[in-house]
Chain A
Amino acid sequence: MSTPPQGRAREKERAGLAEEAFLTVHRVSKSFEGVHALIDVSFQVKAGQIKALIGPNGAGKTTLLNVINGLLPPDEGRVALRGRELAGMKTEQIAALGVSRTFQLLRLFTVNDATVLDNVLLGAHKRINPTILGTLFLPGRSRHRERVMREKAMEALSFVGMNWAADRLPTALSFGNQRLVELARSLMSEPELLLLDEPASGLNDAEVEEFLQLLLAVRARGITILLVQHNMNLVMRLCDDIVVLDFGKWLAEGDPAAICANPAVIEAYLGAAGGGGSC
């Protein structure tokens, strides 16, 4: 990485932007009709790492993901991706910068008998960007591109082990399998940052294990991951770094061992959740 001039570096430092930061959340606050969901939250995610966002129910974890990908505007503070300000951008614009996400309660496309393959193909929307005129007057070109995309979509499905379900309806699949399809759809968008909201909830132990291996393989592709997760066992084994929220406030940050040993975290979260054993 090239070193920027001294002055600029200091200016960045002051703005809370350390140089190696891939994603920066800086002093973000958000409230809903007087309820403070996020209060002055700051942390960073380094490129190529898996970072977990943990905390008790109502700590503001999902709200934070929604702020990062533009579904909710922050009341105060900033979010930056590779130094680029995301505030004021629409969700679809942030998606175009390489941010993709999955949802706690699945959000697969199911209308008009859309198949699993259709869902995964929709992940590549930015690259396909279909238009009325292009579809009607350049059918050859769009058909060729569609063939290429189908191959890629099948690769993404194979990666998560769901290629057998390409022509099925998402609703006909088990919850765990639908999660895998959501992951394949997100990977199809070739993201740089993957936001995962409770990716292991609703999965059985074997499925959690499978998912963990998958996420390690995703990281190996160079994709940075920020995940919200309740399953502490998974978090401890998977993540490089953890940030803890409590009632909308930053409580602690550090590697798994440090978080396990942090008295404040144990009192606020780990002890109460009975998760002490998984540390």
Chain B
Amino acid sequence: MKLINRFWWMLVLVFIALYPPTIGGMSPYRSGLLIFVGIYVILAVSLDLLMGFAGQISVGHAAFFAIGAYVSGILTAKYGAPPAPAMMAGMALSAAVAWGVGRPVLALKEYYLAMATLALNEIVVTLIVGLQRLTGGASGLRDVPSFSVFGFSFDSQIRYYYLVWAIVVLVVASSLLLTRSPFGRTLIAIHSDETAAKTFGIDCAGYKIRVYVLSAVFASIAGSLFAHYMGFLAPDDFSVMTSINVLVMLYLGGIGTIYGPALGALFLKLLPEITVRLQDYEMLMNGAILILILVFMPKGLFGILTEIRSRLVARGSR
């Protein structure tokens, strides 16, 4: 019972992951949409580890999303590499970039860190546009094959749906395990007060770099999944706008809760579908949502949900 209580919201995620067969099929349009949602859930949760827990701002998280996508895309489409090792190569490159960049950059704080991460995003996009032979440049990278592992191909939409959501559940579960453990507690100490943390023997620089690398690896996985689903990559999908979109997901859902950013991704990706006519105003909407959330509900949607739930539980036990 206590376990169910602790992982209540996890059941919701597992339900979405198993949704198609339980309801008896869903339209390709909807399952396609939920595949996108799943990819962005991974991206948002990965950023929450870094920002919501370790307290390190990143306004350029799409950089690692891009590295994952393009390494997978280039290796499979241009060199015929099998998708699973290509994905791992993307994870390795993301980890290496995060480690190399993180050493100097994570010593920065606040605005300076924000600017540096933003610059990283710009550099990656510029490289993608510039290295035309490799990446296809501004006109895009074509013919990324569907994902397969050990000869089993995830070529149908429903198969890919299961793959993406299985990974979503894994990423969310491991993020929860990490953040609700002494490891997460250590990150919170660093976030709260680095000087005090150091006086208790916490190696702040070391922990920050480790969580940055983990966060980059998760974002890279999301990128690879994106590449194999789209089959076509263009630099626009990895611009700073995407990074800011993910930031809005964090604040909309409730930063520092893991579930919140997942909820934020769901909400922000489904909203334009519901209000199709607003699609041209996505940037405007993002800005408006961010301001409204920060002013009126700093704990985000998840904060409101847990509030409602704890009131219901309190009423039920009375």
Contact = CB atoms under 8 A, between A and B. Distances in A.
Contacts of B256: 111-112
A153 B156 CA distance: 53
Given A91-B198, A112-B188, A112-B191, 6 more contacts: A91-B199, A114-B188, A121-B182, A131-B210, A139-B177, A142-B182
Interface stretch (A27-35, A99-107, A248-256): A99-107
B268 interface: no
A126 interface: yes
B178 interface: yes
A109 interface: yes
Nearest to B214: A132
B159 interface: no
A96 B189 CA distance: 17
10 contacts: A92-B198, A100-B200, A103-B196, A109-B196, A114-B185, A114-B189, A118-B188, A121-B185, A122-B197, A136-B178
Given A122-B186, A131-B183, A139-B177, A96 B201 contact: yes
Interface string B155-199: 000000000000000000010011001110110110111011111
A136 B189 CA distance: 20
A10 B33 CA distance: 79
A110 interface: yes
B53 interface: yes
B192 A95 contact: no
Of B174, B182, B185, B201, most buried by chain A (CB within 10 Å of CB) is B201
Interface residues of A, number: 36
> Of A100, A132, A149, which is in contact with the most chain B CB atoms at under 10 Å from its CB?
A132
B127 to A, nearest CB: 29
Contacts of B202: 92, 122, 125
Interface of B: 52-53, 55, 174, 177-178, 181-183, 185-186, 188-189, 191-193, 195-204, 210-211, 214, 256
A149 B182 CA distance: 10
B193 A109 contact: yes
Interface centre among A100, A107, A130, A185 (most CB of B within 10 A): A130
B267 to A, nearest CB: 22
Contacts of A92: 198-199, 201-204
A19 interface: no
Contacts of B55: 111
Contacts of A121: 182, 185
Contact of A132 (B53, B178, B185, B201): B178
B182 A128 contact: yes
A93 to B, nearest CB: 8
A109 B181 contact: no
B186 to A, nearest CB: 6
B145 to A, nearest CB: 31
A52 to B, nearest CB: 20
Contacts of A118: 185, 188
A219 B87 CA distance: 58
Nearest to B183: A130
Nearest to B196: A107
A100 B197 CA distance: 11
Contact of B177 (A103, A111, A135, A185): A135
A131 B197 CA distance: 16
A122 B185 contact: yes
Contacts of A122: 185-186, 189, 197, 200, 202
Contacts of A167: none
Nearest to A131: B183
A146 B182 contact: yes
A132 B210 contact: yes
B123 to A, nearest CB: 27
The 8 tightest CB contacts between A and B, nearest first, are A95-B201, A107-B196, A130-B183, A130-B182, A109-B192, A91-B198, A126-B201, A111-B192
A90 B185 CA distance: 22
A189 B201 CA distance: 9
B53 to A, nearest CB: 7
A69 interface: yes
Contacts of B174: 136
A195 to B, nearest CB: 9
Given A112-B188, A114-B188, A118-B188, A95 B198 contact: yes
Contacts of A128: 182
